[in-house]
Amino acid sequence: MEKNTYDAIVVGTGVSGGWAAKELTEKGLKTLVLDRGPMVKHGDYPTAMKAPWELPYADQPTQEDTARHLIHTRPSFYGITQSTKHWFVDDIDHPYVETRPFDWFRGYHVGGRSLMWGRQSYRFSAMDFEANGKEGIGVDWPIRYDDLAPWYDYVEDFIGVSGSTEHLAQLPDGQFLPPMELNCVEKDFRGKLSDKFGRKLIIGRTANLSGPLKHDKSPQRTTCQYRNLCMRGCPFGAYFSSNASTLPAAEKTGNMTLVPNAIVYELIYDNAKGKATGVRVLDSETGHQTEYFARVIFLCASTFGTTHILLNSISSRFPNGFGNDSGEVGHNIMDHLFGSGARALVDGHEDRYYSGRRPNGFYIPRYRNLGGDKRKYLRGFGYQGGASRRDWTRLVNEPALGAELKQAAQTPGPWTVSMMGFGEMLPSHRNHVTLDRSRKDKYGMPVLNFDAAHEENEILMAKEIIDDALDMLSAAGYRDVRSFTTQANVGAGIHEMGTARMGRDPKTSVLNAWNQMHACKNVFITDGSCMTSSACQNPSLTYMALTARAASHAVEELKRGNI
């Protein structure tokens, strides 16, 4: 027991787990960091530097790949490739049950989805933290924007976020590196949206380094090379990942012990002490079981990874799952509305092009249900999109040959613009996940059973996402304006959250204002499961800020002897 005892345990190494590891170790805690997947050190990205002709099958999935990755090849997902499939979970070995369809995208390796994320980094606003309380939806957030604002500053400064200052109440500005540049068609669209609708179009706020960091604590990172191959892993460290940023910072302290291939399947609770004393771990390679102990535990295993651990941790104190006095663990699943929008052809600008492959698009911030605008639904949505010239792939099915084909391939195609909505999903107790103990994964663990769907508010919002996109592209004077809708279940936005929510009342929530379990004060949860509402912005930046804030509080509480 003494050999396996630490000051802190962090479960998971994604955006939240990496930040927990960094903050706890830098504050002097001997910290054990556990990840269920294999080790990936910064730079261990096997396809990052491969040219297209070095990848088998033209970088397309084989029939075997498709059969083993059933979820990741659904229409709602951008799909696995030969250059990225090693990051994605095999759905045969790691199954789950769908009472109602759910798109769950997973990556089990050190760094988790911080290696695979879209890097869009937006703050929640004051109105986002207040909406539940004002509208009587779900439960009220136990914090407000001002509580988190300094932690947004802190996180943005360390990870590096490029963006433009816009002075929008619904999308607070941050500590930005220089913004990436919109191309000529995007600038044209921006002007027309402003003139005709009074709406903003801005460059996306992305955790790609558009210039040097404002600190010298990450010498392994350099500026973005505009390759747009981020999904493979970036050997330049040009976008934020745990592997390139927070884990090296934690390792530098000498206080981190990182153990990969360690599946945490249960929390250990001591009835006499009234607290968690450690975790039980299964080695994914050998099957060996180990117990580790610590004074404080941070669960950052991803929303459903953490939920699985909680529901699987049954004791006389917690017969319905660890910390589940409220009955809310596993409930209130949220994601973002995803997969619908519009696209168009843009005439003119044939004498203009762009250099590099910008790993970022434009963003149209929320404008619905603001000020005097009142809709039949609550909350709102934003759009993410981009404009580009079509490339040689447009000629795959053309009958041209020889010199004619070569000439056509060297000539840029027409300009196109596309935009897709990301809408807020309201919390609902009906949307939930449970453990199905009748089915097991390859390790003999019970699997999760999902029962979630978009409800009336989201259905009304989804229709307007399409209608507004068509209106804006048509009003801009573009042609061949068409809508698109991808079959996207809850989960397709890859922004799952809410299953162990923060709140003021232990009877209706799982965590307090410090991401601390109401029922067990030395357990903190800072991944997406902690979220009380979803807003319509990408949530990863908020996870990071909440983690840094919670870690600071945990260390102070340890010093005071309160946990």
DSSP element (H, E) containing 522: strand 520-525
Which residues, given as ranges, of the chain have pLDDT below 70? 78
Number of structural domains found in the chain: 1
Contact, 339 vs 494, CB < 8 A?
A: no
User: What single-letter amino acid sits at 68?
Assistant: R
List Cβ neighbours of 379 (8 Å cut-off, separation of 6 or more). Answer: 131, 368, 369, 423, 424, 426, 457, 461, 535, 536
> Using one digit for the tens of pLDDT, what is the confidence trace for 110-122?
999 999 999 999 9
Decide: residue 216, CB within 10 A, 0-12 exposed, 13-18 middle, 19+ buried: exposed
DSSP element (H, E) containing 299: strand 289-299
The token duo for 456 is 């009336």
List Cβ neighbours of 432 (8 Å cut-off, separation of 6 or more). Answer: 330, 331, 332, 333, 451, 452, 499
CA distance 200 to 259: 46
Residue 162, classed as helix, strand or coil, is strand
Q: State the alpha helices, DSSP H only, in 80-202.
A: 126-135, 145-159, 184-197
Contact, 343 vs 438, CB < 8 A?
A: no
On whether the pTM is more than 0.95, the answer is yes
Question: What pLDDT does 429 receive?
Answer: 98
Structural domain containing residue 486: 5-560
CA distance 378 to 374: 8
List Cβ neighbours of 331 (8 Å cut-off, separation of 6 or more). Answer: 429, 431, 432, 498, 499
Euclidean distance between the first and the last CA atom of the chain, given in angstroms as a whole number: 20
- C-alpha torsion angle, residues 335, 336, 337, 340 (rounded to 10): -130
Question: What 8-state DSSP symbol labels residue 269?
Answer: E
Question: What pLDDT does 456 receive?
Answer: 98
CA distance 112 to 527: 12
Nearest to 217, CA basis, from 178, 196, 188, 244:
244
Question: Per DSSP, what are the bridge partners of residue 340?
Answer: 485
CA distance 96 to 311: 15
- E strands along 425-485, which residues? 432-440, 446-451, 479-485
Provide the CATH number for the domain around residue 274: 3.50.50.60
Residue 70 neighbours by CB distance under 10 Å: 12
> Using one digit for the tens of pLDDT, what is the confidence trace for 449-468?
999 999 999 999 999 999 99
